[in-house]
Amino acid sequence: MDNTSVFFQKSCTQHRYIRTRDNSHIVERPERLRAVNVGLAAAIARLEEVAPVVPVHPSGTSPTSSASRIDDEDELTKALAKLQLSASGSSPSESLTRTLPVAFIHSNASVNLLNNPAVKFVHGDIERDVYLETLVAWAKDSQDKVAKGESEIPEGYSQGDLYLCPGSLDAIQGALGTICEAVDNVIEGGVQSEGSGQISSRPRRAFVAIRPPGHHCGEDTPSGFCFVNNVAVGAAHAHLKHHITRVIIFDIDLHHGNGTQAIAWGINEETYRKQLEAEAGAPVHNPGLQVYYGSIHDILSYPCEDGKPELIQAASVSIHGPHGQHIENIHLKPYTSEKEFWDTLYPKQYLSLLEKAEDFIARTGGTRDNTLVFISCGFDANEHEYPSMSRHLRKVPASFYYRFARDARAFADKYAKGRLVSVLEGGYSDRALTSGAMAHLIGLVDTEISGVDEKWWGLENLIALEAATKKRRGGRPSQTAYPEPWLARTAEIFASIDSSHTTPAAAPRAPIPPSSRVLRERKPPGSATTASAKASPATSPGNSGGARTRAPAPVTSGSESDLTDISSGTASGDEVTSKRLPRVILKLGPAPDV
């Protein structure tokens, strides 16, 4: 049975930073998807080693797979989902295959931001969709703005965490379309799997590998790399199209999903209002959507790092029932050993996220028919994330993504017919993304596969995996001889699914305005960047009439958040020392004799 599907969206690679040629300070960019795809490919390669072997007849079917393939699945997906094996002693009319409950789907789906009911449900306005119209205009005008030496992001918004280009619109709309497609497949799969004993031809679980992320974006407040709220739109789509009335969102990103919580609060507030009106005798036409939002996050990191009371309070809320709200926030804590994490923190504190969700189902009268589970799946709490990202020491072992996926899957099996959609959020170092994606996908697949070893994403194997899939020109792995079969299989699968190397070539940048900057001593890393723009004539040879400076792009205080305050790093998470240019001193000799 294909009970888990992985969705990709090629258009996500069109979201690019175009403000300058240097994007080393931009930690969230579509090239990060490559590391995710390496992890997904490795997950399949490892699962193939332990998947059960079943007989396959000449017709190409097996006792459990005759109706299990996705209708529109192409030959590539079929090849990836099965590994044909020869077996001594098997009859000529029958061979053996390892059948995996996983399918890869390259989605072409897209939505129109200005004409989609689910998008309008989350980000629209009663009279006019001001924010959505504004976002579209920002993207379309971005190239012209940059050509004029301006920022494409208006003053007042974070210049460090937000960027757009004309292709960003396709990336955002494609990401939302892919999530809606995953929701359709999962809900239809859950329905079919419950009916008259027939094998479902669609998955009941999905992992959606898309960027940019979404959980920091509120109704009309883009922030933290997020311009629309992907999971919230997916929930709205499930409600409007499939009549889902209970949505559960588990957010496991390092950072609090302040945007998702705010949207969930607004949805619950409206539904609660309808309930009060119904109790007063008003007719009820639509019972409304109720959302449980539960988050595990670092209270010391973005968006709370600056100490703003309203953000810290929101990230600490625990309310279950009053005023129709269902919110649980759990703060990550440091641990001294994995034993402490698994014996104490995980079972006694972090799993209460699922316990509160069970209370939500009981309190609101949710049923398996009207419930859908989402995971806002960020990998930036991973132990392998950049040290600067996890500088507060609030992190989790890589195996957390495996075990939490198993527990969330069991929850969905019990309360939502197994219907679960996991959507990629944060994660920035290659090793964090690769290990997290690998562990998470393995945790989502069928429990009937035994032999899973958590050492698969241990450090030694990760180093070998990085060497086997090291990027060369064109984006493909560079290694041709592999020390172990699973590495060779990983490289083969990765080459078939990855499209991150097709990131469109950057359009010709706007010509850089003539520079009037003068030679000066460069400040050491970490020094203040707010020095006076006026240069001293003594350090400005050839300058007459005072130094002229280029006007900076409009920024405001707080234009850089701690989300951008990390090194681009290496695969191992080591910090990278900033390049320093040599100091240049010009000496003028004596005036020539005339």
Burial of 280 (0-12, 13-18, 19+ CB in 10 A): exposed
Structure tokens at 487: 């590495």
H-state helical runs in 331-458: 338-340, 352-364, 399-415, 430-444
Number of CB atoms found within 10 A of residue 405's CB: 25
Backbone torsions φ then ψ of 446, nearest 5 degrees: -60, 140
3-state secondary structure of 19: coil
Backbone torsions φ then ψ of 398, nearest 5 degrees: -60, -30
Structure tokens at 454: 């958590």
Contact indicator for 445, 204 with CB cutoff of 8 Å: no
Burial annotation 466-505 (CB, 10 A radius, 16+ → b, else e):
bebbebeeeeebeeeebeeebbbbbbbbbeebbbbeebee
Which DSSP string do the residues of 133-180 spell out, in sequence order? HHHHHHHHHHHHHHHTT--SSPTTS-TTT----TTHHHHHHHHHHHHH
Backbone torsions φ then ψ of 99, nearest 5 degrees: -100, 120
Which strands, in side-by-side order, build the sheet including 4-9? 102-107, 4-9, 205-209, 420-424, 371-377, 246-251, 290-297, 326-331, 318-320
Report the C-alpha gap between 355 and 342 in whole angstroms: 17
3-state secondary structure of 241: helix
Structure tokens at 123: 């980000």
Q: Known catalytic residues?
A: 216
Contact indicator for 179, 423 with CB cutoff of 8 Å: yes
Report the C-alpha gap between 488 and 470 in whole angstroms: 13
Gyration radius from the chain CA atoms: 26
For 61-84, what is the HEC assignment? CCCCCCCCCCCCCCHHHHHHHEEE
